[in-house]
Amino acid sequence: MNLITAWLERYFLPIASKIGGQKHLVALRDAFIGTMPATMAGSVAVMLNAILRDLPPQFFDGYDGNTIPVIKQIITINGYVWNGTLAIAGLIFVFSWGYNIAKIYGVNELAGGIVSTAASIAGITFSFSGGISGLKLDPATVDAINAAGWTATSKSITAAGWGWLPLNNLDANFFFTAMIIGFVATMIYVKLMLKDITIKLPESVPPAVSTAFASIIPATVALYVIAIFYWIFSLIVPDMTFLQWLQKTIALPLLGLSQGFGAVVLVTLFVQLFWFFGIHGPNVLAPILEGVFGVAQLTNVNLFQHGGTAEVLAHGYKWVRGSFDAYAWYGGSGGTIVLILAILLFSKRKDYKAVGKLSVGPGIFNINEPIMFGLPIVLNPLMFFPFLIAPVVSVAIGYFATIWGWVNPVSVAIPWSTPPLLLSFMATGADWRAPIVTLVAMAVSFIIWVPFVIAANKVTAKTEDKAA
């Protein structure tokens, strides 16, 4: 056990520390965190609409929330909240991304967010065109369509328009484009700012005006560089935008890989390894957890908003960011709430029991720092294997229960501080089977933890015998 710990300390810990302190990854993590006010508000709206509109028809024949006074108004209001949050989640993220990159370099954060947003949106198509033929239209219909601005004959309709931004270019689909284009554009802006290639105004000019003018040249250069890239890309790939190409060649394959059991287990293991050395695993792996699994979750949330669980099952993802919270990270990373229970029931050590009692309250709300650093689990060789194995087993139970259709996929974003069983129930659109799956995972995890808690009692006894 000590040999394994020593090996990890020598080879894994330095790498983990470097990753955890890499400023661009820190900025990316903070960018995702920065979107939480909007994504949580949108998730509340989706959750309320699920309760008021989507779930009752499954239990009450003829129920239609859109026809009930007060209920229909609440549903409409929730729709407005969704429009301004999850429907444009990618747009919100891209501003947060540029803002946080500029922040870590100590330049104008607001301008960084604006540059990132402007550069990313510049590549979205602003027009549409399409048509249908083989029709039989009467003259009145033809005249009405032509009067509306489209082109129609008795046999066909040709539709075209300009000046619109499709929502499916601004939601979770926008994340991958934003990560690349937003990063490049903001870094060009940052480097020019740091080289002081700016417009300098007299000291008598108000600071706000001076700061804005200083950003003009760096921002303009950054946006023109990105615009030239888009132009060259359109010559090479004339049939799709960069966003569409990126979605097809990178984003979808990554999301597909994320659905494999191996990928899910690997992420789980690395989160636990980071935490074992006192490094916040979910924060370090935020680019993967939020950038891949989080995108899948937003897709599910939006599908649920439009068509309920049936739409998620038909077109959504099985395993998403919230699935880890629902089935493996109850009480915090590592499923430590069951460790607390095992300590209270089986530990004979006064120090363990004291820490366990103090950790109950926070653990119920998935805050596990008291047990992580108070027991401690961090750098505790005795706790290494259960801390690593229990979450993997829990993930496996939740994963296969979802894949095999025993429980609905996570389709509602629920705050991570929601108590475990309630979290899985709400996150799956009120699927009563989800808490049962969580409870099974907790029971198995509890069985894994108990022998190590009992072993800790024996370690104490041996230490006292030697002292005597």
Q: What is the pLDDT of residues 320-346, one digit of tens each?
A: 998 999 999 998 888 899 999 999 998
Statement: residue 39 has pLDDT above 90: no
pLDDT tier for residue 174 given thresholds of 50, 70 and 90: confident
Statement: residue 468 has pLDDT above 50: no
Statement: residue 61 has pLDDT above 90: no
Judge whether 407 and 312 are in contact, CB under 8 Å: no
What pLDDT, on the 0 to 100 scale, is given for residue 394?
A: 95
What pLDDT, on the 0 to 100 scale, is given for residue 156?
A: 82
- DSSP result, 116-159: HHHHHHTTS--EEEEEEES----HHHHHHHHHTTSEE-SSEEEE
Q: Is the dihedral of CA 365, 171, 77, 32 positive or negative?
A: positive
Name the token pair of 355.
Answer: 């820490």
Statement: residue 87 has pLDDT above 90: no
Contacts of 87 (CB under 8 A, 6+ apart): 42, 167, 170, 171, 302
For the chain, the domains span: 25-122+172-250, 127-162, 265-467
Statement: residue 216 has pLDDT above 70: yes
What pLDDT, on the 0 to 100 scale, is given for residue 6?
A: 62
pLDDT, average across residues 204-228: 87
What pLDDT, on the 0 to 100 scale, is given for residue 343?
A: 92
Instruction: Look up residue 33 and give its amino acid.
Output: I
Strand 151-152 with 156-162, pairing = antiparallel
What pLDDT, on the 0 to 100 scale, is given for residue 99?
A: 96
Model confidence pLDDT, tens digit, residues 231-270: 999 999 888 888 878 777 776 676 777 788 988 998 898 8
Name the token pair of 49.
Answer: 């609409």
Higher pLDDT, 362 or 193: 193
Model confidence pLDDT, tens digit, residues 397-417: 999 999 999 999 999 888 777
Statement: residue 229 has pLDDT above 80: yes
Note if the pTM is more than 0.75: no
Higher pLDDT, 122 or 148: 122
Higher pLDDT, 129 or 103: 103
Higher pLDDT, 458 or 85: 85
Model confidence pLDDT, tens digit, residues 290-309: 778 888 888 888 888 787 77
Closest Cα partner for 19 from 265, 334, 279?
A: 279
**Distance between CA 260 and CA 404 in Å, rounded?**
13
pLDDT tier for residue 444 given thresholds of 50, 70 and 90: very high
Average pLDDT, the chain: 83
What pLDDT, on the 0 to 100 scale, is given for residue 465?
A: 43
What pLDDT, on the 0 to 100 scale, is given for residue 435?
A: 95
Name the token pair of 137.
Answer: 């239209």
What pLDDT, on the 0 to 100 scale, is given for residue 461?
A: 45
pLDDT, average across residues 337-357: 90
Instruction: Look up residue 230 and give its amino acid.
Output: Y
pLDDT, average across residues 57-74: 82
What pLDDT, on the 0 to 100 scale, is given for residue 113?
A: 95
Q: Is the dihedral of CA 90, 95, 96, 100 positive or negative?
A: positive
What pLDDT, on the 0 to 100 scale, is given for residue 434?
A: 93
Model confidence pLDDT, tens digit, residues 424-437: 998 898 888 999 99
Judge whether 439 and 329 are in contact, CB under 8 Å: no
- Whether cis (ω within 30° of 0) applies to the bond prior to 376 is yes
Percent of the chain with pLDDT over 70: 88
pLDDT tier for residue 97 given thresholds of 50, 70 and 90: very high
Statement: residue 98 has pLDDT above 60: yes
Statement: residue 462 has pLDDT above 50: no
What pLDDT, on the 0 to 100 scale, is given for residue 464?
A: 43
